[in-house]
Chains A and B, each alone.
Chain A
Amino acid sequence: MRKDQKKIAVINYGAGNLGSVVNALNRLGYQPLVTDSVFEVLKADAVFLPGVGAAGDTMKGLEAIGMADAVKKLVAYRRPLFAICVGLQVLLSSTEEGGHYPCLDIIPGEVKKLPAGLKIPHMGWNQVKQVMSHPVFTDIPDNTNFYFVHSYYAHPTDKSVVAGVTEYGLEFCSMIIRDNLFATQFHPEKSGEPGLKMYSNFLKIASL
């Protein structure tokens, strides 16, 4: 099947730098649909949930367009979903950011602030140690550097969903995989060729 006959949706909830995710997918030869329509997202073959900014604003943005429930449905139906940065954080039960803010509760656990003493945000290239063997890491060596920019990190209760860990003052979960749900604290679209490779592996897993 030709790439353009299958559909990739990039969720647009009025925040986040969607452009760089779209540019990365274009580079891989895909033409994603940037959309705020629940209908389009639910019928897509693969979905990207980008994120930049605060988790509370992201939750509000998703709820305002009915997308919070749509994301829960995608996960329940095991549809291929890739969540990035704050997109990963909102999958957890709640976040400390802005006090205590309830999130999607798809992955039980909490989002916490990075420990004091180091420069915040954690900004730059850091290694992702692969703690799960998975085809999404095909041709991506263990401890490859990816680009991070964040002040909070996910702390899932169930450690079996942790696919990658990174060290910054403490060892935190930098990647989550559960069934067809993939989520990274880092930005693959800003992580050079290994980042593009990860998107390409994900889309292969999604049969695109």
Chain B
Amino acid sequence: MLTKRIIPCLDVTAGRVVKGTSFTNLRDAGDPVEQAAFYYQEGADELVFLDIGATPEARDTMVEVVRKVSKQVFVPLCVGGGLRSISDMRRMLLAGADKVSINTAAVHKPELLKEGAAIFGRQCMVLAVDAKRIRGKDKAGWEVCTHGGRRPTGIDALEWIKQAVEMGAGEILLTSWDADGHQAGYDNELNRAVSEMVNVPVIASGGAGTLEHLYEALAVGKADAVLAASIFHYREYSIKQVKEYLAGRGIPIRS
């Protein structure tokens, strides 16, 4: 049986891991290569690196980080943040990434998903979506935010995800703008809506604070994987603890 993946996320800027709340108030959380090796040894099923600086200089630093990490970490690596072109993606993949995630660039130029899927395969193409709740008259909905969550676009998140999968996205990295960084639980209405709508894996992101939150994202939100940053960075829970807890609650997990 396919197991659910537990994915620590490393937000990196200028070669350091950082963590903030709703994309702001960043705090230093360590060296990315050391952190990655630590998570690998602990049993992480995959690692995600998000370059939140995303300046040209920061990107060079990120390429180096990916190159070093891929020499000592033998689980899949996904890299995103500021990737704007096929050549940006190729650089990360050549450095050792297995997947690239694109967000703002895909909204501006959806053909990037199609081109990337044709060149690298759709399994390489992760669509990252920052979805912010909007309160409609009848029911809740979500809009897409770009630029690291800073810019609401008015684009309907579900419509966009559906279109992006048709274009070539092979996986969805779904972050709740409202829940991210608050450690009060994932937006499982969002996770479930997307997971039931598309035929590609969904990684739930944003809001993990307790073991129960991770369980809910998988059991209630129907996600294929959970991504978390804070609870792992500050050693609130080890990956082993998370896995034992989830396995105990009947979730298929790689031990």
A positions within 8 Å CB-CB of B: 17, 19-20, 23-24, 26-27, 52-54, 119-127, 145, 147-150, 167-168, 189-193, 195-196
Is the CB–CB distance between A27 and B199 below 8 Å?
A: no
For B254, the chain A residues whose CB sits under 8 A away are 125, 145
Query: What total count of A-B pairs have CB within 8 Å?
Result: 84
Instruction: Give the distance to chain A from B247, nearest Cβ to Cβ, in Å.
Output: 12
Query: Known: A124-B224, A190-B75, A192-B74. Is A52-B3 also a contact (CB below 8 A)?
Result: no
Is the CB–CB distance between A53 and B120 below 8 Å?
A: yes
Distance in angstroms between the alpha carbons of A190 and B74 in the assembled complex: 5
Instruction: Give the distance to chain A from B3, nearest Cβ to Cβ, in Å.
Output: 5
Query: Known: A119-B199, A123-B201, A124-B45. Is A27-B98 also a contact (CB below 8 A)?
Result: no
For A191, the chain B residues whose CB sits under 8 A away are 74-75
Instruction: Give the distance to chain B from A184, nearest Cβ to Cβ, in Å.
Output: 14
Is the CB–CB distance between A190 and B98 below 8 Å?
A: yes
Closest to A195 in B: B74
List residues of B (78-103) whose CB comes within 8 Å of A's CBs: 93-96, 98
Instruction: Give the distance to chain A from B222, nearest Cβ to Cβ, in Å.
Output: 11
For B94, the chain A residues whose CB sits under 8 A away are 19
Instruction: Give the distance to chain B from A159, nearest Cβ to Cβ, in Å.
Output: 23
For B74, the chain A residues whose CB sits under 8 A away are 20, 23-24, 27, 189-193, 195-196
Is the CB–CB distance between B72 and A19 below 8 Å?
A: no
- Indicate whether B130 reaches chain A with its CB closer than 8 angstroms: no
Is the CB–CB distance between A168 and B2 below 8 Å?
A: yes
Closest to B72 in A: A27
- Indicate whether B149 reaches chain A with its CB closer than 8 angstroms: no
B positions within 8 Å CB-CB of A: 1-5, 40, 45, 70-72, 74-76, 93-96, 98, 120-124, 170-171, 199-201, 224-225, 254-255
Is the CB–CB distance between A147 and B76 below 8 Å?
A: yes
Distance in angstroms between the alpha carbons of A6 and B96 in the assembled complex: 26
Q: Give 17 A-B contacts (CB < 8 Å), ordered by A residue.
A: A19-B70, A19-B95, A24-B74, A27-B72, A52-B121, A123-B224, A124-B2, A124-B4, A124-B224, A126-B1, A127-B1, A149-B123, A167-B1, A190-B74, A190-B98, A192-B40, A192-B75
Distance in angstroms between the alpha carbons of A84 and B109 in the assembled complex: 33
Query: Known: A53-B121, A126-B3. Is A147-B96 also a contact (CB below 8 A)?
Result: no
Is the CB–CB distance between A17 and B98 below 8 Å?
A: yes
Is the CB–CB distance between A23 and B201 below 8 Å?
A: no
Instruction: Give the distance to chain A from B93, nearest Cβ to Cβ, in Å.
Output: 7
Is the CB–CB distance between A126 and B70 below 8 Å?
A: no
For A149, the chain B residues whose CB sits under 8 A away are 76, 123
For A148, the chain B residues whose CB sits under 8 A away are 2
Is the CB–CB distance between A126 and B2 below 8 Å?
A: yes
Closest to A24 in B: B74
Instruction: Give the distance to chain A from B201, nearest Cβ to Cβ, in Å.
Output: 5
For A17, the chain B residues whose CB sits under 8 A away are 93, 98
For A24, the chain B residues whose CB sits under 8 A away are 74
Instruction: Give the distance to chain B from A203, nearest Cβ to Cβ, in Å.
Output: 16
For B171, the chain A residues whose CB sits under 8 A away are 123
Query: Known: A122-B2, A147-B75. Is A20-B123 also a contact (CB below 8 A)?
Result: no
For B76, the chain A residues whose CB sits under 8 A away are 147, 149, 190
For B96, the chain A residues whose CB sits under 8 A away are 19-20, 23
Is the CB–CB distance between A119 and B200 below 8 Å?
A: yes
Instruction: Give the distance to chain A from B34, nearest Cβ to Cβ, in Å.
Output: 17
Distance in angstroms between the alpha carbons of A123 and B223 in the assembled complex: 13
